[in-house]
Amino acid sequence: MKIRLINFKTSSNYEKNLEEVISILNITSSFTLFPEVCLTGFDYKNWKEANEFGKFAIKELSKIKKAFALSIIEDNKNYFYFFDNGIKHKRAKYNLFGYENRYFEVGSEPDIFEWNGLKVANLICFELRFIKYWEKFRGVDLIIIPARWGKERISHFKTLLKALSLSTQSQVIAVNSANESAYSCSFDAWGEGVESEIYEFETKIDFEKNKKIRKKLNIGIE
């Protein structure tokens, strides 16, 4: 499976951000991942406008006949949206960080959903730190993580992502906002893969390889 990871930099112009996202999607056939709240950022000064724009953006993005994921502010929650010719899955962030508690309502705990025969899981940024989800996701095919991880803790982000792939023996893909520290990666069940700090890059996922790794290094994951 081909994937495209976008180290998106959010501007103060919501419409411009949405146009850029749509433009990227119109020229790719790969699954595309964008960072957390890339359309508005955590714009607490314009909180009502950010929520209203989220509703508009979801309607526009639902028209696109491509597979992609990102998180969007809507109804005072930070929703992970997975699109593929429309909305296939949504979940609001459960573990809030810092000032998020003052503005966001708590969503539901990270879960697993199916897409094209794959078991897919999702974590939104700070949720990556909670080991209980690692246990829950052991052996899923794909773990998707959009983030806006603080640049002063970016080394933690990188370490946790590789550890997550090794612990779960799953494919882990993640993108961090360029407003903090541009970083994206795709790690396989062996903890190997690609990392990038450029605006975007494309790579492939070999799910059969991950199955072979589980058999070779048997830690009880089927």
78: containing domain: 2-216
Residue 196 covered by a domain:
yes
Question: For 43-96, what is each residue's pLDDT tens digit?
Answer: 999 999 999 999 999 999 999 999 999 999 999 999 999 999 999 999 999 999
Average pLDDT value over all residues in the chain = 96
Confidence class of residue 154 from pLDDT cuts 50, 70 and 90? very high
Instruction: Count Cβ atoms within 10 A of the Cβ of residue 154 and give its class: 0-12 exposed, 13-18 middle, 19 or more buried.
Output: middle
pLDDT at 16 > cutoff 90: yes
Find the CATH number of the domain harbouring 98. 3.60.110.10
Amino acid at 132: K
How many domains are contained in the chain?
1
Residue 97 covered by a domain:
yes
Residue 192 covered by a domain:
yes
Q: Which residues lie below 8 Å from residue 144, measured CB to CB, with a gap of 6+? A: 33, 69, 80, 82, 120, 121, 122, 123, 173, 174
Residue 19 covered by a domain:
yes
Question: For 63-75, what is each residue's pLDDT tens digit?
Answer: 999 999 999 999 9
Residue 204 covered by a domain:
yes
pLDDT at 220 > cutoff 90: no
Residue 222 covered by a domain:
no
DSSP, residue by residue, 167-178: HHTSEEEEEE-T
Relative to beta strand 200-204, strand 193-196 is unpaired
Residue 32 covered by a domain:
yes
Residue 221 covered by a domain:
no
Instruction: Report pLDDT for 28.
Output: 85
CA atoms within 13 A on the CB side of 165: 26
